């Protein structure tokens, strides 16, 4: 019995551990600068954020006027302080509603903003938090990774605009891929090494190429495996991928799949400009995807619903796409599929 309890505690610790990654201001600034035109007169909700420590709160309160925000709501899941008398963490969450400074000052002081207690723990799925979500226009945060699918599903259900951080693997979740395929969500600007790292609590091991303790004493890990997922438009999303290769004349570089009528392309930059049929490209393609240039057809599986394969070997996750803006030029097209 004791072993069982011990085991469940460890599992819980492991799960919690994954979720305690705090976003750095520098990474928020470097992404948010691409979306400034979206925020005028909007209510922003950061629903996984303790305003006392959240850099999302810091960013939006400092830029409240510049962005022309109407309101900033920030909600904290459970209170993180220890209650000295009960010697356990208190279970209620709380939130704040910030409407800008009356006087001329740039930085909001959380001590001067009224804290409103949730009756419950402030879980983003709770009725209380959903009521705040309904009042909001845009949700911006880094939500708990372990609840990412549910988190995104809720944003879609309530038809919210969003800009959130997730793990790159999230692209491979069928629910998330479906949104990307249907142009209901897309990748933001920064990805992988473009997100410099996350602040972690004392008891976390530091890892990653840029792991460090910064000048303020923050412990930073750099997993290099995160992305921004959004449904806010950016100019980058309308830029064509510059294609320089051709299929015709280089057919041997683009083998056909065993179980799908399409060719395999190993690198996004090698997508041929003249191929009319289906092409399987790596998932990193999504970072450059312009829906006016390409159409996403299917993820990973061939006609037999097994992973796409070439002579029995499966390249790592492929996305099947089709070129909407063929550049045929002088190249010949023979036996074109479909």
Ligand X SMILES: C[S@@+](CC[C@H](N)C(=O)[O-])C[C@H]1O[C@@H](n2cnc3c(N)ncnc32)[C@H](O)[C@@H]1O
Considering only the stretches 46-54, 241-249, 266-274, 305-313, report the one whose residues sit in contact with ligand X under the rule CB under 6 A. 46-54
CB of 142: closest distance to ligand X in angstroms? Answer: 3
CA torsion through residues 246, 251, 252, 256, sign: positive
Decide if 279 contacts 253 (C-beta within 8 A). Answer: no
Determine, following the binding rule CB under 6 A, whether residue 123 of this chain makes contact with ligand X: yes
Q: Per the structure block, which two tokens stand in for 303?
A: 């006609």
Determine, following the binding rule CB under 6 A, whether residue 280 of this chain makes contact with ligand X: no
Q: Which is nearer to ligand X, 20 or 295 (CB)?
A: 20
Determine, following the binding rule CB under 6 A, whether residue 229 of this chain makes contact with ligand X: no
**From 17, 19, 224, 284, residue interacting with ligand X (rule: CB under 6 A):** 19
Determine, following the binding rule CB under 6 A, whether residue 23 of this chain makes contact with ligand X: yes
Q: At what angle do helices 148-157 and 174-181 cross, to 10 degrees?
A: 40
Q: Which is nearer to ligand X, 198 or 275 (CB)?
A: 198
> H-helix or E-strand containing 282?
strand 278-282
Determine, following the binding rule CB under 6 A, whether residue 21 of this chain makes contact with ligand X: yes
**From 77, 278, 294, 299, residue interacting with ligand X (rule: CB under 6 A):** 77
DSSP conformation letters of 126-188: SHHHHHHHHT-SEEEE---GGGHHHHHHHHHHTT-EEEEEEEGGGGGSHHHHHHHHTTS-EEE
Considering only the stretches 64-72, 140-148, 204-212, 307-315, report the one whose residues sit in contact with ligand X under the rule CB under 6 A. 140-148
- Distance CA(184)–CA(165), nearest Å, equals 16
Decide if 185 contacts 179 (C-beta within 8 A). Answer: yes
**From 61, 110, 141, 222, residue interacting with ligand X (rule: CB under 6 A):** 141
What 3-state DSSP class applies to 227?
strand
Q: Which is nearer to ligand X, 21 or 254 (CB)?
A: 21
Contact footprint for ligand X (CB under 6 A):
19-23, 48-49, 54-56, 77, 123-124, 141-144, 147
């Amino acid at each position: 019995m004791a072993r069982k309890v011990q085991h469940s505690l460890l599992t819980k610790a492991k799960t919690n551990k994954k979720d305690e990654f705090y976003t750095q201001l520098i990474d928020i600034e470097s992404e948010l600068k691409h979306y400034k035109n979206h925020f005028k007169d909007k209510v922003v909700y950061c629903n996984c954020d303790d305003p006392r420590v959240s850099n999302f709160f810091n960013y939006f309160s400092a830029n409240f006027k510049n962005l022309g925000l109407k309101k900033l709501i920030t909600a904290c899941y459970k209170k993180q302080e220890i209650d000295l008398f009960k010697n356990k963490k208190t279970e209620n969450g709380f939130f704040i509603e910030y409407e800008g400074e009356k006087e001329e000052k740039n930085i909001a002081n959380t001590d001067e903003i009224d804290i409103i207690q949730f009756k419950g723990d402030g879980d983003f799925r709770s009725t209380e938090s959903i009521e705040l979500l309904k009042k909001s226009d845009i949700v911006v945060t880094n939500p708990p990774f372990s609840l990412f699918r549910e988190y995104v599903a809720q944003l879609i259900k309530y038809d919210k605009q969003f800009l959130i951080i997730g793990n790159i693997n999230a692209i491979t979740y069928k629910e998330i891929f479906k949104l990307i395929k249907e142009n209901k969500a897309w990748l933001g600007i920064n990805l992988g090494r473009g997100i410099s790292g996350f602040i972690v609590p004392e008891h976390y091991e530091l890892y990653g190429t840029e792991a460090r303790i910064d000048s303020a004493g923050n412990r930073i890990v750099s997993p290099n495996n995160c992305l921004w997922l959004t449904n806010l438009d950016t100019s980058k999303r309308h830029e064509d991928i510059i294609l320089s290769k051709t299929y015709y004349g280089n057919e041997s570089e683009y083998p056909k799949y065993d179980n799908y009528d399409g060719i395999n392309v190993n690198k996004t930059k090698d997508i041929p400009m003249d191929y009319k049929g289906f092409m399987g490209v790596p998932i990193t393609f999504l970072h450059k995807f312009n829906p006016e240039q390409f159409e996403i057809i299917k993820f990973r599986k061939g006609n037999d619903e097994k992973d796409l394969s070439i002579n029995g070997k499966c390249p790592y996750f492929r996305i099947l796409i089709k070129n909407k803006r063929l550049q045929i030029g002088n190249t010949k097209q023979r036996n074109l599929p479909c």
